Structure 1
Amino acid sequence: MMAHKGQISEWYPDKGYGFITPVHGGNKVRFTEQALKRRKMRPKRAMPVRFSISKDALGHAQAANIEPLSGISFDVFFAIIFITALGGATFHYRYPIEVVYWLLAVNLLMSLVVALDVCAWRNAKPQTSGAALLFIAVFGGWILPVLSAPFSPLPTRSLLFRAGQWGVMFVHFAVLIYSLSGEGREQMQLIVDSGRWFLSHYLPGFGQ
């Protein structure tokens, strides 16, 4: 079920219902207390939330599985930890700077893809498939999209996609930790040297 982002625009505690305004500025969606994912949640006006769309008994759209979007999400927190660890490894353990350049380039590419998806979404056109996004993420292109997700108007991807993204994130963090070991450093240096050879071989003058 597709998740959406919005803001509680109306809430009537005495009546037990309210309305959510989607971030894209569409029609308000009605919700009831039963739709709150966390029973202890106290709805307030202007509260940012994530929700899905369902149908009531009369076939009208209503919000379901409502949860707050306040605070730093796990994804964002993990991305910050990864960047901090990579920065520390680069400055204190002489981690290959080429890895940083590679991650920067791939994340800029992914950010361009996301920007195009925003334009496509606003014009009701098809967006990049989840499989394609995960393919780019495998090569390191998940950092900037994760950090910008809280500010993006795009609907949240499916749970399957998010699980795949979490898997990629954990694998990359494990690889980073392993590459700081003696054996890991040697293998990482071999990969970097192979990349340098490839570029110098097919791009004459590279590195000179």
Structure 2
Amino acid sequence: MRLAGRISGWNDDKGYGFVTPHGGGERVFVHIKAFHPGSRRPAEGDLISYAVTRDARGRGNATGVRFAGQRIERRTPKTPPARMPRMLLGSVVLLAVVLGTALGFLPLVVALACLLPSFLSYLMYWTDKEAAQRGAQRIPESTLHLLDLLGGWPGALVAQQQFRHKTAKASFQFAFWCSVLANIAIVAWLVRSGIARSLTDALLGV
């Protein structure tokens, strides 16, 4: 049950006072922390509404305090921003490279240049995450970016989500996606120019 009363004996320096209910009754203790978040500072004589609880010694304390006429806004929970499905994206790219190579759309050298660096990149992100948690020596970001540029970015995407590593640092992510775009452009040029096919033939001794 909520009561209405006025604040009396308020000590603003210490942040507490008492409230006397209208119509008489028990005067109870009221603390600044009992007021609704965002409320103004109380003052002597303020009209408030409140509920009463009892402490271990049976003394009354005002809780859920509101000023007379104060409207309490209900905050709508914010919907968290959608997260990029990094693991899914990285896995799809790796699968596409494997299938493209198996079906003859991509030269073998492209698959090797993607799968091997991706595996190494995954291990490096994992190692760097472990080092960060232990306070040990970290892997330089330039090394991670270089490996991503060389084709390891699909494995990096998987590791970033799985280990929750390097996803919140804006400067790192900017450099990461620049390396992704650069790698895609280089691979596309190697495939279209026929260089990738020639390298594959040389590797297989054709």
Q: TM-score, normalising length from structure 2?
A: 0.51
1:187 matched to 2:195 = yes
Q: Relative to structure 1, is the Cα distance of residues 88 and 112 closer, same or farther in structure 2, using a 3 angstrom cutoff?
A: closer
Question: Which residue of the other structure, out of 126, 137, 152, is the alignment partner of 1:115?
Answer: 126
Give the root-mean-square deviation of aligned CA atoms: 3.4
Q: Contact conserved, 2:86 with 2:157, CA < 8 A, in 1?
A: yes
Counterpart position of 2:151: 140
Q: Relative to structure 1, is the Cα distance of residues 155 and 176 closer, same or farther in structure 2, using a 3 angstrom cutoff?
A: closer
**3-state SS of the aligned residue for 1:42?**
coil
**3-state SS of the aligned residue for 1:168?**
helix
Question: Which residue of the other structure, out of 77, 102, 106, is the alignment partner of 1:42?
Answer: 77
Counterpart position of 1:152: 163
Q: Which has the higher contact order (CA 8 A, sep 6+)?
A: 1
Question: What CA deviation, in whole Å up to 9, does each residue of 1:175-195 have, x standing for no partner?
Answer: 4444554xx2x221233345x
Q: TM-score, normalising length from structure 1?
A: 0.50
CA distance in 2, matches of 1:115, 1:143: 14
Shift of 1:123: 0.9
Q: Contact conserved, 2:149 with 2:179, CA < 8 A, in 1?
A: yes
- Give the fraction of aligned pairs with identical amino acids, expressed as a percent: 16
Residue correspondences, number: 134
Q: Contact conserved, 2:109 with 2:200, CA < 8 A, in 1?
A: yes
Which aligned pairs between 1:17-166 and structure 2 lie closer than 5 A?
42-43=77-78, 68=81, 70-71=82-83, 73=84, 79=90, 82-83=93-94, 85-156=96-167, 158-166=169-177
Q: Relative to structure 1, is the Cα distance of residues 137 and 143 closer, same or farther in structure 2, using a 3 angstrom cutoff?
A: same
Once superposed, which parts of structure 1, at least 4 consecutive aligned residues long, lie more than 6 Å away? none
| Bigger Rg, which one | 2
* Structure 1 portions without partners, runs of 5+: 1-13, 17-39, 45-66, 198-206
CA distance in 2, matches of 1:161, 1:136: 14
Shift of 1:133: 0.7
Question: What CA deviation, in whole Å up to 9, does each residue of 1:128-155 have, x standing for no partner?
Answer: 1111111111111111121232221435
Shift of 1:159: 2.2
Q: Relative to structure 1, is the Cα distance of residues 92 and 41 closer, same or farther in structure 2, using a 3 angstrom cutoff?
A: farther
* Structure 2 portions without partners, runs of 5+: 1-35, 39-74
